[in-house]
Amino acid sequence: MLQNTGKLGGCTIFITGASRGIGKAIALKAARDGANVVIAAKTADPHPKLPGTIYTAAAEIEAAGGKALPCIVDVRDEKQINEAVEQAVEKFGAYTMAKYGMSMCVLGMAEEFKGSIAVNALWPKTAIQTAAMDMLGGSGIGKQCRKVEIMADAAYAILKKPTSFTGQFVIDEDILKKEGIKEFDVYAVEPGHPLLPDFFLDQQPEDLAKQMEEHGATPAFKSGKADSAATGPISDMFNIIRGILSPDIVKTTGAVYRFDLSGEHAGVWYIDLKNDAGSAGSGDPPAKADVVMTLDSADFIKMFGGRLKPTMAFMSGKLKIKGDMGLAIKLEKMMAMMKSKL
């Protein structure tokens, strides 16, 4: 495992979701260096099924050698976020680093704060055993996972780098290999057991479900059967999309998108915002896709209908993106235009 160097001593780290799981593991890793940790999470009172609160996490952080500031924060509440930041500044003087849950913000924020604050995204290569994973994978999922400590070590490796290391989408195992870590069984819940790939990496939901079942887990999700009919709510949505296509959107976007939909209205659809005046329809795109989005057809309808934010869909695992993340973000402009048409 990656050894602490003391480099984060005196630094202040604002961590969302630090009352348990990966967030708390990162907090404890930084605390061993003597860091100040702002624990921004919703759980103030004990949960009947989930372990830990912001106050129990604070006690563990201080026992590990750090200083803690527990703050009740729902990240959907801007007021609570601002209040937590103000408390952090008042108690610690400033906050210099942050762990953000939305990696789609990384590219823009890295450019905006270049030279002063580094902004990076960290993803696990394999499934990590947390309360959320236990609920998603059911019984037997734990032995296919790694422990939260691998994410803590990977985050530590990022945090001790200079601010010039920014705008990166980092995989935990990759950065630890660069740090000289060769033995990864120490991070496994059950050393030697086959590991489940992380849901955000390039593996289809059907393959993930099959692998989970092969090794004794009972997945709480299943993809639906393909539906080849080009009629229904997806077709209606694409009629609206075709109605707002214009040379201006094509010029400002410059990308081809493919949508692999599962569920009740499964199928392959595309939006070409790169060639001629643009086009959209069912089947494979006329040119190679720059971005491939995989999601349930019901979530596609919600997303393009303005009832599901793409960032939330991505972070919750409902949306998987393969390709250029910057171009994926550009598609939100079209979604905003569609709200007035619905």
- Using alpha carbons, list the distances in angstroms from residue 20 to 31, 44, 61, 294, 329: 15, 12, 12, 29, 30
Q: Dihedral sign, CA of 229, 232, 238, 243?
A: positive
Residue 69 and residue 58 in contact, taking contact as beta carbons nearer than 8 Å: yes
Q: What's the CA gap between 88 and 227, in Å, rounded?
A: 52
- Using alpha carbons, list the distances in angstroms from residue 136 to 19, 21, 210, 215, 241: 19, 15, 14, 15, 34
Q: What six digits make up the tokens of 198?
A: 């992380």
Residue 257 and residue 221 in contact, taking contact as beta carbons nearer than 8 Å: no
Q: What's the CA gap between 175 and 184, in Å, rounded?
A: 12
Q: Which helix (H) or strand (E) holds 279?
A: strand 279-282
Q: Which residues pair with 72 in a beta bridge?
A: 41
Amino acid occupying residue 30: A
Q: Rg (Cα) of the chain, in Å, rounded?
A: 22
Amino acid occupying residue 67: K
Q: What is the DSSP secondary-structure string of 60-103?
A: HHHHTT-EEEEEE--TT-HHHHHHHHHHHHHHHS---EEE-S-G
Determine which one of 55, 95, 187, 257 is catalytic. Answer: 95
Known catalytic residue at 95: yes
Catalytic residue numbers read 95
